[in-house]
Amino acid sequence: MVAGTGPGPRAAAVAALVVAASWGGLVRAGDDATICVRCHQVAAAAAASGTGMGHAPGLDCVSCHEDLRPGEVGRHHRSIPTCASHHDEMRHPPRMESRPGRPTRNCLSCHDVHGSPNLHLIRPTLVRRGRVIPIDFTTETGAGPGGFTDPAAPGDGLCEVCHRDTDFYPANGRGKPHFSEPCTVCHDHAAGFQPVASDANCGICHGDEAGRFAKPSRHSARFVCSGCHDEVDPTPGPGHRAVPACTDCHQNTTHAPTGYAPLPCTQCHDPHGTDNLNLVADVIRTVQGSDRPIRFDNLLGRADGSFASASAPGSGICEVCHTTTRHYRADGTGSSHFTFSCLPCHLHSSGFEPQ
């Protein structure tokens, strides 16, 4: 349940607190929300408090509480809607969903529907195991004062105070190291705060891949992570996403030099992204077993940053693996050859065999 940020009509209820004390006689209930304050002073004060400023902009008492006995006041004269009548998110923790009548009570254990100085109508105090715990939740920072967890006071952050069996951020303040990003990046309220992998949070666990994917390439220009990696298991962890084969999308023949088994595409390409053209890897593990840095930014042929290097023979993308070729070998030797682009004769689609 997410609170609005504007004051809304309920702000008038604070001023009505003073007026209510001078009223006498029986109040006739109508559609004037300021009348509600006479009996519901605590709710009215909460509605106008702090940053929460009521449940949502534009809502007042009568917007949520239907009149059951028009013109009368007293117990149950207006309805009390359930949270689920307007919100379909799963409540936290998920096991509470199976208990009849529990969802709304579970929402109210963390939220004050009328208003709060905290974000998202989070109560200023939570009661856990007989303790009244003050809650400061004014920023959606993952780890910081007023955030989901508080490194300065481990165990006192919003998410921490209830945790007893979690590996991370338990109430005793002695959890294992964990990510410090906002919790809701991975723990979705709509999923009862269960961990959910999405394109928005892949980079938290897969930082190296995310960094490369941010580089311009044909893959990053067309896809997001889920465009290639289908979900296998909704819970993040080893094997939760599929790793497709390059041949699922590409039909090019694999490069297979004479005397060697066919090379995998990833021998020369990094599918997530590189600084080179055509996703050519920044570092290539050669067939000799050494790692060679690669610069490949033009298709000229025998030129620096191209197929064969002009100033450092043996360091071009085609050269670094060659040991038995007649031309452009890894040791910088070889007989003279054409200096234009390799591709007119050595087609990628034919495994670079000369055509």
pLDDT per position as a tens digit, 337-355: 999 999 999 999 889 989 8
In contact, 75 and 40? CB cutoff 8 Å? no
Look at residue 234 in the predicted model and tell me its pLDDT: 83
Return the pLDDT at 15: 37
Reduced to 3 states (helix: H, G, I; strand: E, B; else coil), residue 67 is strand
Q: Which amino acid is at 145?
A: P
d(CA 81, CA 87): 11
Sequence-distant (≥ 6) Cβ neighbours of residue 160 within 8 angstroms: 149, 150, 154, 169, 170, 171, 173
Q: Which of 345, 281, 293, 288 is nearest to 321 (CA)?
A: 288
Note the pTM of the prediction, 2 decimals: 0.68
8 versus 189: the higher-pLDDT residue is 189
Phi and psi at residue 183, in whole multiples of 5°? -55, -35
Query: 295: pLDDT confidence band, cut at 50, 70 and 90?
Result: very high
Choose from 54-63, 72-81, 113-122, 302-311 the range with maximum mean pLDDT.
302-311
- Report the DSSP beta bridge partners of residue 318: none
Beta pairing, strands 125-128 & 131-134: antiparallel
What residues form DSSP beta bridges with 269?
280
Q: How confident is the model at residue 102 (pLDDT cuts 50, 70, 90)?
A: low
Q: Which residues pair with 354 in a beta bridge?
A: 346
Give the domain ranges of the chain. 9-85, 202-244, 246-355
Q: Using pLDDT thresholds of 50, 70 and 90, give the confidence band for residue 96.
A: low
pLDDT at 210 over 80: yes
Number of helices and strands in the chain (H, E): 8, 4
Q: How far apart are CA 6 and CA 11, in angstroms?
A: 9
| Average pLDDT over every residue of 40-63 | 76
Predicted confidence at residue 320, as pLDDT, reads 96
Distance CA 219, CA 56 (A): 42
Q: Distance (Å, rounded) from C-alpha 23 to C-alpha 262?
A: 90
How far from the centroid of its chain's Cα atoms is residue 287's Cα? 39
The torsion angle over the Cα atoms of residues 155, 159, 163 and 169, rounded to 10 degrees, is -50
Output the six-digit token pair for 219. 């893959």
Q: How far apart are the first and last CA of the chain?
A: 65
